[in-house]
Chains A and B, each alone.
Chain A
Amino acid sequence: MVLNSRYALYVYALALGLLSALLLYSTYYLAGRGTYWGITTGESKIGGLLWATAVDPSIRDTLYYKTFKLVNPLNDPTQMIVIAILLGGLIGALALGEFGLKHFPNHWMLLQAVIGGFLLGYGARLALGCNIGNYLSAWASAGLNAITFTAGMIPGIGLGTIVVERVFLFRARPLPIYITPSLWVQRLLLAVAIAVAVVLYMLSEGVMAKLWFVFGVAFGLIGYLSKICWATGLREITNPYYGGGRMVSATALAILTYAILALPMVVTDPDKISFALARGVGQLQIFIGGLIFGAGMGIAGACIFSSEWRTGVVVSTQ
């Protein structure tokens, strides 16, 4: 549903919080354990699978991948949600006729994207979570990691924005290539995208993989329709010049909605919940990860969640 009023952003933020809580309750009732969602574990597994297949299979023997085992994505909820968010963004863009090949970078913009993306990924794995797992879900879980990750992320994005202003601002340029398929081609691609989603759903194994896939499509769709930008929300705190405060309040609304709706379950059956607490790493590591992740957001211009649904829209530098 496309909303166009000035309050649409907040309605979508509410929807994001509501869906996140719904996933928690759904995992609880279907699998006996409620789960706060995240995305970078799945992304790291997809990356690991690609590396193991194309470069070096021995990556499976690293401590990290012994802990987060490389498994078939169709069996794995954490990987299915990543694929689904991408598809959700794509479906949203195609449905609105806004799909296209654009943002082709010159070499400076490409460098900016690569450096930003690397820092996003590195920081997220160091902290065992990104702006979803260690921010949205962590604040909703009332975890200490939410505070330490945010404490690192905020100065990090300030630093990243300074790098953009001083290094990339007058050098990074998009190439004047804009390929926007006609409306009927986009409708055709929409049918294909939906068919792919249905096939993946049917091929996925286990109720959790299917559940996370469905929610992932919904998250991707909301991400695209809302244009909610976590990076802008954080940038508004460090550099108010670049925003009006709407994104930071929208993201806060999403977090609050998630936290409040999750409260009944948290209070009644906390032992059956997997909170987003980045267990296994210390708070200093989470802080440093947040700092690196924030710098990556500042340089890349987007967080990991936004980068995913934007990739579905075929934003080429994402």
Chain B
Amino acid sequence: MSLEFSEGVYRLDLRGYVCPYPQIMTLQALKKLRDGELLEVIIDNPASCENVPAAVRREGHEVLGVEKIGLGVWRIKVVKRGSK
């Protein structure tokens, strides 16, 4: 898993991972961001469409949306809220 930065957006490709990795890795990645920065998480585990946003919201971050970007692939957009 690597956190990439491109065009002003952080991206985390978590395709291939199943629960609980997407939640754990998303929360860990968010710790590296500053307040207001955007993280896009790419997943292909259907349950993570529900679990990742729930975990992220619980930590006080903002979920902009979950969108399908391909067959069986989703992008979750999260804005970091709170100081680094």
Contact = CB atoms under 8 A, between A and B. Distances in A.
Interface of A: 9, 93, 97-100, 102-104, 161, 164-165, 169, 172-178, 180-183, 186, 224, 227, 229, 231-232, 235, 240-247, 301-302, 306, 310, 313, 315, 317
A301 B58 contact: no
Contact of B46 (A172, A175, A180, A313): A313
A79 B1 CA distance: 39
Contacts of B19: 229, 231-232, 301-302
Nearest to A106: B16
Interface in B1-37: 1, 15-21, 23-24, 27
A165 B7 CA distance: 32
Interface in B21-68: 21, 23-24, 27, 44-47, 49-51, 53-55, 57-59
22 contacts: A98-B46, A98-B71, A103-B16, A103-B17, A103-B45, A173-B1, A174-B17, A181-B71, A227-B46, A227-B49, A232-B47, A242-B20, A242-B51, A243-B51, A243-B54, A243-B58, A244-B53, A244-B57, A246-B54, A247-B50, A302-B18, A302-B19
Given A103-B16, A169-B24, A178 B44 contact: yes
Contacts of A301: 18-21
B44 A235 contact: no
Contact of A176 (B16, B21, B53, B59): B16
Nearest to B19: A301
Contacts of A235: 20
Given A9-B50, A232-B47, A240-B58, A165 B15 contact: no
Given A99-B72, A244-B55, 16 more contacts: A102-B44, A103-B44, A169-B21, A182-B71, A227-B47, A231-B19, A241-B59, A242-B20, A242-B23, A242-B27, A243-B58, A244-B53, A247-B51, A247-B54, A301-B18, A301-B21
A58 B55 CA distance: 49
Contacts of A246: 50, 54
Looking at A180, A229, A313, the one whose CB has the most chain B CB atoms below 10 A away is A229
A242 B49 CA distance: 13
Contacts of A182: 71
Contacts of A302: 18-19, 47
Contacts of A161: 20
Contacts of A227: 46-47, 49-50
A242 B24 contact: yes
B18 to A, nearest CB: 5
Contacts of A169: 21, 24
Contacts of A104: 16
